[in-house]
Amino acid sequence: MKRHGRYKPFVPDRIYIEEAVRESPWTQRILVHLPHAAVTPIPSLDQWEAPPGGNSILLARQRGPFLRLCPGTSRHICCLYQNLDIAAGCDLDCSYCILQAYLNVPMTTLYTNLDALFAELDEKLGRFPRRFFRIGTGELSDSLTFDHFAAWSGDLVHYFSDKSNAIIELKSKNTLIDHFVRLRHNRRTVVSWSVNAEAMSASEEPHAPSLQERLDAAVEVQKAGFRLGFHFDPMLYHPDWAQGYRATVDAIFSRIDPHNIAWISLGALRYPPLLDEIIRENHPESEIVLGELLPGVDNKYRYFKPIRIEMFSRMYQWIRAYSPDVLVYLCMESDEVWKRSFGWSPKSSAGLKKLLDARVRD
**Which positions touch ligand SF4 (CB under 6 A)?**
90, 92-94, 97, 99, 141-142, 173
Query: Is residue 246 classed as helix, strand or coil in its secondary structure?
Result: helix
Nearer to ligand SF4, 105 or 116 (CB): 105
- Identify which of 201, 128, 114, 212 has the alpha carbon closest to the alpha carbon of residue 164: 128
Nearer to ligand SF4, 90 or 135 (CB): 90
Task: Check if the beta carbon of residue 54 is closer than 8 Å to that of residue 173.
Answer: no
* Residues 6+ positions from 125 with CB-CB distance below 8 Å: 133, 163, 165, 166
Nearer to ligand SF4, 132 or 193 (CB): 193
Query: Is residue 308 classed as helix, strand or coil in its secondary structure?
Result: helix
DSSP string over 35-100: TTSEEEEES-STT--PPSSSSEEEEE---S-SEEE----TTSB----EEE-SEE--SS--TT-THH
Nearer to ligand SF4, 173 or 188 (CB): 173
Q: How far is the CB of 164 from ligand SF4 (least distance, A)?
A: 30
Q: How far is the CB of 55 from ligand SF4 (least distance, A)?
A: 15
Q: Across-strand partners of 135?
A: 82, 168
Q: How far is the CB of 258 from ligand SF4 (least distance, A)?
A: 25
Q: How far is the CB of 320 from ligand SF4 (least distance, A)?
A: 27
Task: Quote the DSSP letter at residue 292.
Answer: G
Task: Check if the beta carbon of residue 88 is closer than 8 Å to that of residue 45.
Answer: no
Nearer to ligand SF4, 102 or 118 (CB): 102
Q: How far is the CB of 24 from ligand SF4 (least distance, A)?
A: 24
Query: Is residue 332 classed as helix, strand or coil in its secondary structure?
Result: coil
Nearer to ligand SF4, 60 or 90 (CB): 90
Task: Check if the beta carbon of residue 1 is closer than 8 Å to that of residue 202.
Answer: yes
Q: How far is the CB of 208 from ligand SF4 (least distance, A)?
A: 6
